[in-house]
């Protein structure tokens, strides 16, 4: 199952499978509102090169119009249904860059050559906080080519998760956040390891941690910023012992194949 995963920081990854490059939740900012990038450089221009870009939900650290403007004209962009109505900045970025926007809900599929991407449910508040009455579902995605790779976006554990996601080879799971407190509609390192065990993926990459942190909070519970990746490795060894966990540094890649 040859697939290459590159982690650019936070929830931004590139999944390359069958010659198709899929970019998740593009975020290429040094600073976002009260957050600043504390680990890893801003991804290089090559990180924005993709056949398909996926947005999991409308929170500003996942749907970032300024980052979408770095995508090449004509890039296909998949977003939750209702995103265009809820986020005017998305519509403007798409128009300026000539992005081909497809709005989806759980169960919908998008094909690019030999790769099919299926939207799956997520247990997360998908609103564009704090604005407006419009809502759009938070989603995860399964990228299926020679391998099946699950990008969870932001989610908590939910009943029926293995059935909703289906059989997968690789799981890209959020294990932390951008602040010291996570609600139940997030996975922390322990809950992510539980999810990994339930999904029975062969390989896992922890994401959504160790990149952005609130300005002025450097000394507040710093272990919450640094530790989730190592904590996930430790919890997964107990709760999902058959899975191989690949804790990547920013900009690092791992190639996963049938020979392991």
What pLDDT digit, counting tens, does each position of 10-53 carry?
Answer: 999 999 999 999 999 999 999 998 889 988 999 999 999 999 99
How confident is the model over 46-88, as pLDDT tens digits?
999 999 999 999 999 999 999 999 999 999 999 999 999 989 9
pLDDT at position 145, please? 97
Counting other chains too, the contacts that 159-168 makes at CB distance below 8 Å and 24 or more residues apart are: 161/195, 161/198, 161/199, 162/198, 162/199, 162/200, 164/106, 164/120, 164/121, 165/120, 165/140, 165/199, 166/118, 166/120, 166/142, 167/200, 168/142, 168/199, 168/201
pLDDT at position 180, please? 58
pLDDT at position 53, please? 98
Whether the predicted pLDDT of 113 surpasses 80 = yes
What is the Cα–Cα distance from 224 to 235, expressed in whole angstroms?
15
* Mean pLDDT of the residues in the chain: 91
pLDDT at position 8, please? 98
**How sure is the predictor about 129, in pLDDT bands with cuts at 50, 70 and 90?**
low
How confident is the model over 132-184, as pLDDT tens digits?
555 788 999 999 999 999 999 999 999 999 999 999 999 999 998 776 556 66
Cis peptide before 255 (omega within 30 of 0): no
Whether the predicted pLDDT of 221 surpasses 70 = no
What is the Cα–Cα distance from 35 to 106, expressed in whole angstroms?
30
Q: What is the DSSP letter of 45?
A: G
Longest CA span, the chain:
50
What is the Cα–Cα distance from 219 to 217, expressed in whole angstroms?
5
pLDDT at position 226, please? 79
Interval 114-141 mean pLDDT: 82
Residue 112 CB contacts under 8 Å (≥ 6 apart), including other chains: 20, 22, 51, 52, 76
Interval 179-207 mean pLDDT: 88
What is the Cα–Cα distance from 172 to 175, expressed in whole angstroms?
10
pLDDT at position 260, please? 43
This prediction has a pTM of 0.94
Q: Are 166 and 135 in contact (CB under 8 A)?
A: no
pLDDT at position 201, please? 98
Of 26-30, 188-192, 216-220, which gets the smallest average pLDDT? 216-220
């Amino acid at each position: 199952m040859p697939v290459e995963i590159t982690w650019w920081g936070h929830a931004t990854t590139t999944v390359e499978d069958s010659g198709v490059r899929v970019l998740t939740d593009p975020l290429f900012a040094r600073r976002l509102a009260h957050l600043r990038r504390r680990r890893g450089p801003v991804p290089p221009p090559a990180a924005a090169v993709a056949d398909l870009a996926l947005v999991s939900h409308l929170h500003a650290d996942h749907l970032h119009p300024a980052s979408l403007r770095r995508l090449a004209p004509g890039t296909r962009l998949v977003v939750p249904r209702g995103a265009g109505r809820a986020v005017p900045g998305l519509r403007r970025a798409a128009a300026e860059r000539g992005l081909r926007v497809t709005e989806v809900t759980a169960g919908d599929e998008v094909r690019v050559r030999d790769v099919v991407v299926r939207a799956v449910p997520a247990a997360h508040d998908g609103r564009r906080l704090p604005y407006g009455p419009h809502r759009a579902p938070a989603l995860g995605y399964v990228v299926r080519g020679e391998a099946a790779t699950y990008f969870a976006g932001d989610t908590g554990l939910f009943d029926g998760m293995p059935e909703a996601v289906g059989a997968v080879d690789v799981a890209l799971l959020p294990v932390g956040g951008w602040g010291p407190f996570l609600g139940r509609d997030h996975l922390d390192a322990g809950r992510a390891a539980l999810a990994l065990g339930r999904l029975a993926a062969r390989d896992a990459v922890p994401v959504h941690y160790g990149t952005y942190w609130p300005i002025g909070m450097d000394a507040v519970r710093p272990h919450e910023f640094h530790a989730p990746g190592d904590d996930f490795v430790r919890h997964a060894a107990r709760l999902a012992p058959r899975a191989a966990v690949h804790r990547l540094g920013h900009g690092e890649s791992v190639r996963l194949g049938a020979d392991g």
